[in-house]
Structure 1
Amino acid sequence: MSDIEEEGQAAVPVEEPRIPITTERALGAVAMALICLISFANVVVRYVTDFSFAFTEEYSTFLMVFMTFVGAALASAGNNHIRIAVIVNRLPPAGRIFCEMLSVV
């Protein structure tokens, strides 16, 4: 039970996402796996041959930014963003809905 429900206040209703989020989860997992693979391959090659791939840092940075955007989309779709709701918890239900709509914009 959430803190809002324990206090006897109604929570803001959350709709289920219209698009399945399995694609985003798969893209995030692939990006993370590629970062691990590229970094590991670079470490092994550098250790064995004293040669380093030139593209690993750029690709890893791009994939990390991509993973951040995918994670933000997943958090937004699942209503899981971090929020500080001290003031919003004290508002009436209409005020909460207004604040929720304002935060989406």
Structure 2
Amino acid sequence: MNRRPTLRQMNILAINVLIDAARRAKWGPIERTDAHRLALAWLVHNRIATSEVADGLWTTLGSEVSDRGAHTQYCRDRALQCPISSWQSKAMLPDDWYWINDKPPAD
């Protein structure tokens, strides 16, 4: 018998999709996919993310890096990291697997 995924499992999956995208977008734009769109929509639908912040991450994933300076890279890193970190907290997921540590989820 197939079991439906729990809300927690769906939240983990959505956030993992976005963590992977953010890792790849660190140095430049990536192709945004339906998986990214669905993950963001899921988090907005469940009130983990606001549509404004989700739109900001969507834009950052696909945007060029205008300057390669340290300050610009820091700002891009923060634009990718902060929303995801906040969503992990709102979804009550442990931060011990947060993407900076490059560790897989314990769950």
Fold shared by both chains (TM-score > 0.5): no
Ranked by relative contact order (alpha carbons within 8 Å, sequence separation 6 or more), the top structure is 1
For the pair shown, the structure with the greater C-alpha radius of gyration is 1
| TM-score (ref. length: structure 1) | 0.36
| TM-score (ref. length: structure 2) | 0.35
